[in-house]
Amino acid sequence: MIINCTKKLQDELGIKPELVEVHNPLFSWHANLIKINRRKNLVLVNDVARYNIV
């Protein structure tokens, strides 16, 4: 499984981006950081199925 992070999440986690080849796009996800009621929440979205997890 490959999780691609947004710039906001990369800065929060203190990680640097890497280039990775995706063989099966079904296992590719995007992660974003949002604030709800002053609390940080992680949102994951599948690239193909658009299934999301908060």
pLDDT in tens, 29-52: 999 999 999 999 999 999 899 889
Q: What angle do CA 29, 33, 41 make, to 5 degrees?
A: 105
Cα–Cα distance, 30 to 50 (Å, whole number): 10
Q: Rounded distance, CA 6 to CA 37, Å?
A: 21
Q: How confident is the model at residue 1 (pLDDT cuts 50, 70, 90)?
A: confident
